[in-house]
Amino acid sequence: MPLQVPYQKLIEADNNQQLQKTLAAYLEHLGDLQACAKSLFIHRNTLRYRLDKIQSITNVDLHNFNGLLSLYLGQLIHQPE
């Protein structure tokens, strides 16, 4: 499976880019749910819901280093220059 496939699935399912922004904040805060939720101005439960949705769309476990790394690299590949 090519590296960008999980992130591409997220892009296709995320019309308003809310999940992409959530994932970017999660990665930026190194998985710190409280800091991530605060930066997005959302409740921690909303963050958990979005992260669960990301996992179900991409079939990637965000609690697994390899899974998180694949989404991070996919995000880097799809960033506009």
What pLDDT is stored for residue 16 in this prediction? Answer: 96
User: What does pTM read for this prediction?
Assistant: 0.92
Delimit the domains of the chain by residue range: 5-78
Q: What is the 3-state secondary structure (H, E, C) of the chain?
A: CCCCHHHHHHHHHCCCCHHHHHHHHHHHCCCCHHHHHHHHCCCHHHHHHHHHHHHHHHCCCCCCHHHHHHHHHHHHHHCCC
CATH of domain 5-78: 1.10.10.2840
pLDDT tens across 17-65, in order? 999 999 999 999 999 999 999 999 999 999 999 999 999 999 999 999 9
